[in-house]
């Protein structure tokens, strides 16, 4: 925010009343929101319904920004491969989440012939870290689906918190077993509305292109290997995400 303010010469305000993708899109359409980030799965609808222009994603020093979806189970439990999830309960984050719901639904259907509601039950946790905490310390889920980089972050921090609990609980890598890893996806992405004035957009792009995480509050993401922003290409980078969306839109047509 400080860098954007300096580059544009405009007062930058954090819009706190847009807690999710739907309200973000409404704010973009209404001209209230001018720089924002959407998670992987929300980018296509933001582009198509709110005029969002994807620009930059957090990246490593070489400009790489891909991540994978992982299906996790409790280490030592009976589930050792995705096929073992038949008749089990899977934890999804939210239907808007690519790695937290869309990608695992797609993978379980396309690769293992399993449909939600028919071959396995599912519930929503609302958060990737909550998913991990519920798997390890709860009893409602046989597996959860999360972004691999967020799993790595939770393990690096060594703690998780169940929803509704004030205290954190310890987390170690050997408490989790990965039974499936997807192909790569782009991560969350920052961008602007398509009708942002050209001079403002140039300054915003310059900020993201030159911004370095070290020495700022974003420096904590170095533990995930993220040190700067890299430009994205919506047509190419989100091709697999759009393929998943198209496939899931046909689920209702299946007998």
Query: Tell me: the pLDDT tens digits for 202-248?
Result: 999 999 999 999 988 888 887 778 899 999 999 999 999 999 999 98
Residue 121: domain span: 67-184
Final residue in a domain of this structure, among 128, 149, 184: 184
What's the pLDDT tens digit per position in 114-161? 999 999 999 999 999 999 999 999 999 999 999 998 999 899 999 999
> What is the rounded distance in angstroms from the CA atom of residue 74 to the CA atom of residue 167?
21
> What is the rounded distance in angstroms from the CA atom of residue 233 to the CA atom of residue 54?
8
> What is the rounded distance in angstroms from the CA atom of residue 117 to the CA atom of residue 124?
13
Same domain, 168 and 209: no
pLDDT bin (cut points 50, 70, 90) of residue 250 is: confident
Same domain, 56 and 129: no
| Structural domain count, the chain | 2
What's the pLDDT tens digit per position in 85-96? 999 999 999 998
Given the DSSP bridges, would you call strands 67-74 and 176-185 parallel, antiparallel or unpaired? antiparallel
Same domain, 32 and 43: yes
What's the pLDDT tens digit per position in 184-208? 999 999 999 999 999 999 999 999 9
Same domain, 54 and 74: no
Within 11-147, residue ranges assigned H as helices are: 21-29, 43-50, 103-112, 128-137
**Angle at the Cα of 122 (from 116 to 126), degrees rounded to 5?**
130
Q: What is the CATH number of the domain that holds 109?
A: 3.40.190.10
Same domain, 128 and 176: yes
């Amino acid at each position: 925010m400080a860098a954007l303010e300096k580059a544009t010469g405009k007062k930058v305000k954090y819009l706190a009343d847009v807690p999710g993708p739907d309200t973000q899109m409404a704010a973009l359409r209404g001209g209230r929101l001018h720089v924002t980030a959407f998670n992987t799965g929300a980018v296509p609808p933001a582009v198509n319904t709110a005029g969002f222009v994807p620009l930059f994603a957090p990246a490593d020093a070489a400009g790489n920004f891909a991540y994978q979806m992982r299906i996790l189970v409790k280490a030592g439990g009976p589930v050792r491969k995705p096929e073992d999830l038949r008749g089990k309960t899977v934890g999804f984050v939210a239907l808007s989440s690519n790695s937290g719901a869309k990608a695992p639904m797609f993978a379980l259907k396309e690769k293992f012939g399993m449909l939600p509601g028919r071959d396995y039950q599912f519930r929503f946790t609302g958060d990737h870290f909550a998913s991990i905490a519920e798997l390890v310390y709860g009893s409602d889920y046989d597996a959860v689906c999360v972004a691999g980089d967020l799993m790595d972050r939770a393990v690096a921090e060594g703690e998780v918190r169940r929803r509704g609990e004030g205290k954190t609980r310890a987390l170690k890598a050997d408490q989790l077993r990965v039974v499936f890893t997807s192909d790569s996806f782009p991560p969350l992405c920052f961008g602007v509305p398509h009708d942002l004035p050209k001079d403002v957009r140039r300054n915003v792009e310059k900020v993201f292109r030159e911004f370095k995480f070290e020495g700022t509050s974003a420096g904590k993401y170095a533990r995930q290997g993220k040190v700067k922003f890299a430009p994205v290409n919506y047509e190419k980078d989100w091709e697999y995400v759009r393929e998943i969306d198209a496939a899931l839109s046909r689920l209702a047509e299946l007998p």
